[in-house]
């Protein structure tokens, strides 16, 4: 086997491992990523699987990094071409609700479940989760401030409070879908976001995640 073919095969195996990790972790948590279970699922040896990552913690971090790529594709990119301020906030909220309603991850948003799992712990996984949520806060906050500057939101809008409430809606939506299977959850989330933004979200756009 040529070195080039061998390297491509190794990358392919690593991709298979990460894809399986994302699916398992969204349902069973990052602690559910046991080497034995993954090796059995993928018909790999434990040593072969560990050879790609070294430690379980490295595997968990790689899983969250892949989840961030998926989240970016599903939530941020659909709104990337929309003007800053209220239009972009509106587009982000449609994409975010859609991402949760469509069940992009089998067990719901991996970041929400991982936060509940690791918010009381230390270590690199918690650090990565904090960094991810800080990045979301900054992106949302920038558009809230732009909306205030453009007169699209009241001048006395508290940016941190606004972002806090918006994230709360999304986390509650994830929880309601996953725990109760509530078919009315998306409608409730849309109503909550409507009140925050002061404009209506098109409920029919939630199925695609994109505004017309």
Confidence of residue 8 (pLDDT cuts 50, 70, 90): confident
Q: What confidence score (pLDDT) does residue 71 get?
A: 97
Domain assignment present for 114: yes
Average pLDDT, the chain: 91
How many domains are contained in the chain? Answer: 1
Domain that includes residue 191, residue range: 3-207
Residue 185 inside a domain? The answer is yes
CA distances for 177 relative to 109, 164, 168, 182, angstroms: 11, 20, 14, 5
Q: Give the mean pLDDT of 143-155.
A: 97
Residue 212 lies in a domain: no
Can you give the pLDDT at residue 61? 95
Residue 177 domain flag:
yes
Judge contact between 35 and 49, C-beta under 8 A: yes
Q: Note whether 68 and 131 are within 8 A (CB).
A: no
- For residue 102, being part of any structural domain is answered with yes
What dihedral angle (degrees, nearest 10) is formed by the CA atoms of 72, 109, 196, 75?
Answer: 20
Q: Is residue 197 part of a domain?
A: yes
Give residue-wise pLDDT tens across range 25-69: 999 999 999 888 899 999 988 888 888 888 889 999 999 999 999
In sequence order, which residues have a C-beta less than 8 Å from that of residue 80 and are 6 or more positions away? none
Is 134 within the bounds of a domain? yes
Q: How confident is the model at residue 206 (pLDDT cuts 50, 70, 90)?
A: confident
**In the prediction, which pLDDT does 4 show?**
54
- What CATH number corresponds to the domain at position 55? 1.10.357.10
**Mean pLDDT within 8-31:** 90
């Amino acid at each position: 086997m040529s070195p080039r073919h061998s390297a491509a095969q190794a990358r392919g195996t690593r991709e298979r491992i990460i894809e399986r990790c994302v699916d398992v972790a969204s349902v069973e948590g990052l602690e559910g990523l046991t080497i034995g279970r993954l090796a059995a699922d993928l018909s790999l040896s434990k040593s072969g699987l560990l050879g790609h990552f070294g430690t379980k913690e490295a595997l968990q971090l790689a899983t969250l990094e892949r989840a961030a790529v998926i989240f970016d594709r599903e939530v941020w990119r659909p709104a990337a071409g929309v003007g800053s301020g209220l239009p972009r906030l509106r587009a982000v909220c449609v994409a975010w609700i859609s991402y949760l309603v469509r069940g992009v991850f089998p067990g719901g948003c991996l970041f929400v479940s991982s936060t509940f799992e690791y918010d009381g712990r230390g270590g690199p996984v918690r650090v990565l989760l904090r960094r991810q949520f800080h990045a979301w806060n900054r992106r949302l906050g920038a558009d809230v401030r732009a909306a205030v500057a453009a007169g699209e939101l009241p001048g006395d809008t508290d940016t941190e409070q606004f972002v806090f409430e918006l994230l709360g809606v999304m986390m509650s939506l994830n929880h309601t879908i996953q725990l109760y299977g509530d078919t009315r959850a998306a409608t409730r989330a849309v109503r909550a976001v409507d009140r925050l933004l002061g404009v209506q979200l098109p409920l029919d756009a939630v199925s695609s995640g994109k505004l017309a």
